[in-house]
Chain A
Amino acid sequence: MAGRHKISIWFIIGSLLLIYGVIIFISNVYEWFFPSQTRTIVLGELHFGVWWGALLIIIGLIYFIAFRPWKKSVA
């Protein structure tokens, strides 16, 4: 929904999810290989953060590309 606004809310959401996804994915991959001992997470061996970060990247990319403001509109 861009309406008279050049930037769609869905594009903004996609951008934020993409940024979040990249940060969460990278930090959890790092944690997987270089685990810190700060606190114990239940089921930490599942490395849920890696998969959740990847999911955010996928969802974010879909919104980011589908609602990009520089997309050429079909006449």
Chain B
Amino acid sequence: MPGNLHSHLILLFANPSSIMSLGWVDSLLIVIYFLFVLGIGYYLLRFTKTGDDFFMAGREMTAWIAGLSFVAANLGSLELMGWAAASYQYGILATHWYWIGAIPAMLFLGIVMMPFYYICKTHSVPGYLKLRYGEGASQLSAVSFGFMTVFMSGINMYSMAIVMKVVLGWDINFSIWVSSLTVMVYVVLGGLLSAIFNEVLQFMLIWLGALIVPIVGMIETGGWGGMVARIHQNFPAGDYTHLWSTTGSFTDNPMGIHWTGIVFGLGLIISFGYWTTDFLVVQRVLSARDLRSAKLAPIIGAGFKMFVPLIVILPGLLGLAVLPGLVGENDKQAIAAGAQTYNEVLPLMLARYAGPGLLGLGVTALIAGFMSGMAGNVSAFATVWTYDIYKPIHLKLTKNEGTDAHYVKIGRWCTVIGVFVSIGTAYLVQQFASIMDYVQALFSFFIAPLFGTVILGMLWKRATKAAGFWGLFAGIGSSVAMWALVKLDPSALKYVALSPYAKDMAENMYRALWSWLICVIVTVVVSYMTKPKPESELVGLVRGCTEIPSEGDIPFYKRPIVWATIIFVVFLALNIIFW
């Protein structure tokens, strides 16, 4: 190795301020991982010929593949780093984002909404809106989704780069460029098929890499009881280990939230908005090979999602027990004195327990999480941009539908552009105080009103074309306005979030609730003022106009509704156990 290059690599990989440095075994595991994901992309290139192959993975995924990919696409940086940090900050309350903030919505998607998405054979959620409401609502949602997707992707990259800097001392720019270019290569080669295959692989690695911390952590603290005792000893003033019992008042819990915000804002609006209308996750289910698989996929996903707190929330709680000195990122004085922030709790815990090889596996799990989230965003962005933004413009300008091969080519270029725009976004998000809170704000801008538009479109025949557009527009506009109002005048928080003590996450929940309500009210009012579509045009799109195919004579244990019921009962039981 030339001397200059060697010195440069030493500077890159061995920053003395990092938590640890990797041994050769750890580095070998990471290199093997990168070779595998690139190899999968190269192997699948030969199977990615048509638009359906590239954008919809050939619509031939089993329920298990689609279900695991559905959850893995969401297991990005937010899940691994962000929620471990949030659980250190807010305690077990962060689990609400996995249980009430996910499970009911995922089951609802599988049982109620999936038949409509699947039967109409749409390529995307904006594609459904085009069929149901026409161009206006579709374009608005496509453009807003495009923005949100690149922001999310940028956040993913930034989070990953921070982890690599903190854990290994890697240069931020190096991490951003290497990981994003790797994702770009395998998604450009194999499209959604490659993204899904890699997501399933990444899902396994995330679990096997991240489980090390809760297992050894539980041994160290002496089990759940021992961990809770240590947390109480370290933080006698706060209650970090109850899900619901402290949410009767804004001031009784570390998040500053009331249970109404959790149930209605998170459980009914943000969660249903994200899990049922965010194309990033819905796209994975649309790749299922038949309707039963499409219905089962989110239900399988819900089953796994329910246990993700084991590898995300539990490490944060264990951090409260064994690493009590971590500070917030705004505590500049403590950080200057050498204190570490709770954003680093997961890598700190990993460094605490992981020996040779295991550290590489844990770091690979983190990289896998970031890459699966990024690939999810990029592949969804390419689909929406190609089909819902580019195609109508191309048709208008050329009066030509365009060939399938042309759209595959555009999809590949969109992937490249999406990655580069995301890289730019990654540098932008560095200035925001809290990554998680910022993402929640984004959700409430776009996702909550979109859920209002989609659900009314699916369940209410009377909703009209104009109502779809104006409802969505009013919802997004009001959400941005409320956010800006609180930024300009913080005292307005008591109106938006119903309490002057509400923290950022609580504010986001209430803002999502209000923007959804505004979307629904405007949609209903405008619908009654305008002419509805004839029922014949709503077949396959709206409940009451669509015949859902029978599941036939399959045994009861293969029926989606049976599994949805079982998972819902477990969900209820978990909430009661950790009340």
Contacts and interface: CB of A to CB of B under 8 A. Distances in A.
Contacts of A36: 356
Given A3-B60, A12-B201, A48 B353 contact: yes
B355 interface: yes
Given A1-B64, A27-B25, A42 B355 contact: no
Contacts of B36: 12, 16
A58 B379 CA distance: 33
A69 to B, nearest CB: 12
A42, A53, A59: most-surrounded residue (chain B CB, <10 A):
A42
B29 interface: yes
Contact of A43 (B29, B58, B60, B219): B219
Nearest to A63: B204
Given A9-B201, A23-B25, A49-B357, A42 B352 contact: yes
A52 B29 CA distance: 14
Interface string A9-41: 100110011011001100110010000101101
Interface string B463-497: 00000000000000000000000000000000000
A24 B353 contact: no
A41 B356 CA distance: 10
A6 to B, nearest CB: 9
B216 interface: yes
A11 to B, nearest CB: 11
A41 B28 contact: no
Contacts of A41: 352-355
Contacts of A27: 25, 356-357
Contacts, number: 91
B224 interface: no
B327 interface: no
Contacts of B150: none
Given A12-B197, A12-B201, A16-B201, A48 B32 contact: no
Nearest to B357: A24
Interface in B42-63: 43-44, 47, 58, 60-62
Contacts of A42: 216, 220, 352-353
A71 B358 CA distance: 32
A72 interface: no
A74 interface: no
A37 to B, nearest CB: 13
A48 B220 contact: no
A61 interface: no
A20, A38, A44: most-surrounded residue (chain B CB, <10 A):
A20
A20 B44 CA distance: 23
A24 B201 CA distance: 18
Contacts of A66: none
B142 interface: no
B212 A52 contact: yes
Given A9-B197, A42-B216, A42-B353, A1 B29 contact: no
A44 B356 CA distance: 11
B91 to A, nearest CB: 22
Interface residues of A, number: 32
A24, A28, A31, A56: most-surrounded residue (chain B CB, <10 A):
A24
A50 to B, nearest CB: 9
B442 to A, nearest CB: 31
Nearest to A56: B208
B358 A13 contact: no
Contact of B44 (A5, A17, A48, A52): A5
Given A13-B201, A41-B355, A23 B220 contact: no
A61 B494 CA distance: 58
B40 A12 contact: yes
A53 B354 CA distance: 12
A75 interface: no
Contacts of A20: 29, 32, 357, 361
Interface string B1-41: 00000000000000000001001010011001100100010
Given A13-B204, A16-B36, A28 B29 contact: no
B356 A13 contact: no
B200 interface: yes
A29 to B, nearest CB: 10
Nearest to B35: A16
B32 A49 contact: no
B355 A49 contact: yes
Given A20-B357, A43-B219, A56-B208, 6 more contacts: A16-B33, A23-B28, A23-B357, A27-B356, A28-B358, A43-B216
The 8 A-B residue pairs with the shortest CB-CB distance in the complex, in nearest-first order: A24-B357, A27-B25, A49-B355, A27-B357, A1-B62, A27-B356, A49-B358, A41-B355
Interface of B: 20, 23, 25, 28-29, 32-33, 36, 40, 43-44, 47, 58, 60-62, 64-65, 197, 200-201, 204-205, 208, 212, 215-216, 219-220, 352-358, 361
28 contacts: A3-B58, A5-B44, A9-B65, A13-B200, A16-B32, A16-B33, A16-B205, A19-B32, A20-B29, A20-B32, A20-B357, A23-B25, A28-B356, A28-B357, A31-B355, A38-B23, A41-B352, A41-B353, A41-B354, A41-B355, A42-B220, A42-B352, A44-B355, A48-B212, A48-B358, A49-B355, A49-B357, A56-B208
Interface of A: 1, 3-5, 7, 9, 12-13, 16-17, 19-20, 23-24, 27-28, 31, 36, 38-39, 41-44, 46-49, 52-53, 56, 59
